[in-house]
Amino acid sequence: MFKSCLVDSGFLRNSLFLVEKGYLRAYYATASALLTTDAHVFEENPLPVDAYVIQEIKAVRERSSIRGKQKLYPVVTRVYKSLDWEVAWDLRFSRSVKQYGFSHSLSAFSVIVHVFALAGMKMEVQSLLSDIVCYYRDAKYDAFGLFPYLFDSPHNGARTLVFDALIMTFAANSMLENAVDAFVQTKNMQLEPHIGSCNFLLKCLAEANKLESVRSLFKCLRKYGPSPNVYTYTIMMNFYCQGHEGKGVDIDEATDILQEMEKSGKHPTVVIYTKYIHALCNVGWVEFALDFIRNLRCRNQPLNSYCYNAILFGFCQNGETYEALKVLEEMKTYGTLPDVYCYTILIDGLCKEGDIEIALTLFEEMERYKIKPSLVSYSSLICGLCKIGLVDDSLDIFRDLVADGVRPDAITCTLIVEGYCREGRLKEALKFMYEMHNQGINLNSYTYNAVIKSLCKERQPEKAWEFFPQMLKRNIHPEVANYNTLMNGFAKKLSTKKALIVYKGMLKVGVMPNAVTYTILINTFCHGGKMREAYNLFKEMSERGLVVDVISYTSLIAGFYRIGDMKKAWALFNEMLRNNHLPNAITYTCLIDGFCKSLRMDFASFLFDEMKRKNVIPDAVTYTVLMIGYFRLGNIDRAIQLFGEMKERGISPDVIAQETMGLYTGTLTKGLLELTVPFADWTRSTLLQPSDWHGPVLLRCERWEERDVNSIGIAVVGFRWFLSSLKRGSNLSIVDMGWHCIYFWRSILGFGYQKQTQLATRVT
C-alpha cells in the first residue's frame, strides 16, 4: 500500500527484510538481564537461554585470552543507570570496533541508543546514530543491515524516536536511498514518523534535485501521513519556484501548491507568498505578480518589502524603471517601508538607463530615512556616473563610501579604474590603484585588465605587458582574460610574433587558452595571410573540445576570402551550417564580396537572399559590395534597385555606398556620365597632371545647379573602374591616380583635409 507511493522513485529495493521477532526478543531479554548484576558478561548475539550461558563463558575466555581488554558490558550498564552522555560519547563507535570487534560494538551501541531514546534524549540519539552511520559509509558497508538492530523495542515511542533520528542522519549524510528505506520501514511497522524528520528528508531530496522522489514522498505524506504542515508546503513551493533538474520555474505546480494549502486551511506565510511572487517575476509575469500583491493586500494577507523587491527588479530588468518608481510610491502609501534592497534595485536600474539624477535623489532619500546604503548601492551609483563620464563625481561617492564605514572591494575599485581608462586618464587610474594597494584593498586581475585594455587601445601593448610582473609581485595571478587582451593588442598592431610569445608564456605558467584565445590567434594569422597556421589552430581548438563559435568560423572564412580562396571559404561556410552555427551579417558579407569580386553574382545573389530568409539583416556594407559587383558586371539597374531597397529598409548608406551611387542617381547621372567617359579616354591618352586637366573639367561642370555640384562629392570612388583601366595602360600607381581624382573633386567642392584623407584611404 504505502510502498507503491515510492516505488517509482528508484529508492526501494527489490525485497524488504523481515524482522524475526524471536531473534530480537532474545536480544532484549539479554539486555534486560544485564541490569541485575554488574558482573554479568554482555554478549551481542543472544542464543536461547539454556545455550546462552555456555556461549557466553566461551566468549569471555576468548576475549580474555586474545585481547585482555576492558569489557563493553560495564560501560553499557553505567550509561543505562546514569544516562551519562560523556561516557557514551567517549566510547566512539570506530574506537569500539577496533577494541571489541564490529558485532559486539554494534550490539552495545544499539542498546545505548534505545536507552537514550527511552529517556527522550533526541540529540544524543542522533549523535550516536551519526557516529554509527558515518562508520558504515566510510567502510562502504551496507547500512541496510542496521535495521534489525534498531527496529524491535517494547516501546513504540522509543522506536519512533530512533527511526526519526535515523532518517535525519541518513539524509544529512547524503545517504538518501537509506533515508527513504528507513522511512518506508517505519511506516510498514505502523509507526508514525515525526513530520519534522519527513520535512528534513523532503528538503534534502529537493536540494539533490530528485524530482520524482520529492513528488512521491509528498504524495505519501498527504495520503498516509504525517500530515504536511506549513513548512512542508514551504519546501515544495521553494522547490518548484527555484527550478529543478536543470529546468526553469514550474509556475503551474507552484500555483497548485498554493491553492491546495489555502483549501486545506493552512495559512501561507509571507515566505511562501514571497517565493511565489519571485517565481512569477522570473517567468516574466511582473504585471500579474503586482496584481497578486494588490489582491493579497485587499485580503489583509502578510506582505513585506521582500515581496515588492521582485516586482521592482522585474520592472527594472525590462527597462520600465518609471513603473518601478510607481510601485515604490505605492509601497510607501500602504505602509510597507522600503528597505536597502528596494532602493539598491531602483538605483541600479536607473543608472543602467542613464537616469543618474533620479538615482541620486533616491540615494539622498535613503539617508533621510536612515537607511544605510550597502556596497552594492554605492557601486551601482559609481558605475552609472563613470558610464556618462563623471569619473570625478564617482570618486566623490567612493570617498563617501569609505567615510561611511563601508569597505570597498575589488569590483568597486575596478569601476573607478575603468572610468578613468575610458576617459584616457591612465595616470589617474594608476594613482588610484596605488592608493588602494596602500590601504590594503586587494585588487584583482579584472582591475589590471582595465589598464591593459586601455594601453592596448592606445596601441601600446608593450607597455601593457609590463604590468604582468607587477601583478605577480602583488600575488595577483594573470588570468586568461588578461592574456587575451594583451594578445589582441599585439594582433591589432599586426605583431604576430609577439602575440605568439604571449601565448606561449601563458601556456608555460599553466593558464589554459579558451575559445577567445584561439579566435584572436586565428584572426591574427588570417590578417597576415598565414592561412595554414590559422587552420591548424582552428582544428586544434575543435580537438581540445572548445566551442567553435560563429566568430571563429567567420574569422577563418574572412581569411580565405582575403586571399581569394573562395573554395575553402565556401567549404567552411557549409561546415558551419552542418554544425548548427548561424552565420552573421559579417560572414555573409565576406562571402558575398568574394563572389562579387570573382563576378560570381549567382552565388552572391543566392547568399543575399538566403541571409534575408534566415532573418540575418544585411547592413550598409553588404548592400555596397553587392552594388559594386553589379556595377562591375554592367547591371546598373539591379544596383540602383538595391540602393533603393537599402533606403526603404531604413539602412543609411555609408560613404562608399553614396560614392558608388553618386554616378547614377538624380540629375547628376546624365551629366556625370557624359563627363567621365570622354574624360577617362582623354586622361588615358595624355596622362596629364592635375594642374593640366582640372580646369577644363571645371568649365564643363558650370552647367549644373549648385545642388547637383554638392552631390558630386560622393562620386569620387566612382572613378575606381576607369582608374583600373587606366592602371593597365600606365606606369602610375593606383594611389597616384586616386590622388588625381581627389584633387579634381576637391577643386569642385573645396573638401577639407580630413575628408580628403578619408577618401584617399577609401581609394587605396
pLDDT < 70 positions in the chain: 1-71, 151-156, 244-247, 653-764
Q: Is residue 510 part of a domain?
A: no
Q: What is the pLDDT of residue 390?
A: 93
**Parent domain of 693:** 669-763
Nearest CA to 312 out of 298, 322, 297, 300 is that of 322
Q: Is residue 65 part of a domain?
A: no
Q: Is residue 737 part of a domain?
A: yes
Q: What is the pLDDT of residue 246?
A: 54
Cα→Cα distances 265→230, 259, 260, 299, Å: 10, 10, 9, 15
Residue type present at position 311 = I
Phi and psi angles of residue 285, each rounded to the nearest 5 degrees, phi first:
-95, 60
DSSP 194: -
CA distance linking residue 584 with residue 56, whole number of Å:
85
**The dihedral sign for the CA sequence 130, 135, 141, 146:** negative
Q: How many domains does the chain have?
A: 1
User: What stretches of 354-390 show up as alpha helix (H) in DSSP?
Assistant: 356-368, 375-387
Long-range contacts of the stretch 585-590 (C-beta < 8 A, 24+)? 585/611, 585/616, 585/617, 585/618, 585/619, 585/622, 586/554, 586/558, 587/550, 587/553, 587/554, 587/557, 588/616, 588/618, 588/622, 589/618, 589/619, 589/621, 589/622, 589/625, 590/554, 590/557, 590/558, 590/561
Q: Is residue 682 part of a domain?
A: yes
Q: Is residue 287 part of a domain?
A: no
Q: What is the pLDDT of residue 152?
A: 59
Q: Is residue 696 part of a domain?
A: yes
> What are 696's three cell numbers?
577644363
Q: Is residue 439 part of a domain?
A: no
Nearest CA to 130 out of 166, 95, 100 is that of 166
Nearest CA to 311 out of 292, 297, 295, 337 is that of 292
Residue type present at position 191 = L
Q: Which residue is it, cell 517565493? A: 275
Residue type present at position 168 = M
- Containing H/E element for 60? helix 49-66
Q: What is the pLDDT of residue 64?
A: 40
Nearest CA to 175 out of 17, 16, 8, 11 is that of 11
pTM for this predicted structure: 0.66
Which phi-psi region, left, alpha or beta, contains residue 79 (left: φ > 0; alpha: ψ -120 to 50)?
A: alpha
Q: Is residue 702 part of a domain?
A: yes
Q: What is the pLDDT of residue 91?
A: 79
R_g over Cα of the chain = 40
Q: What is the pLDDT of residue 154?
A: 59
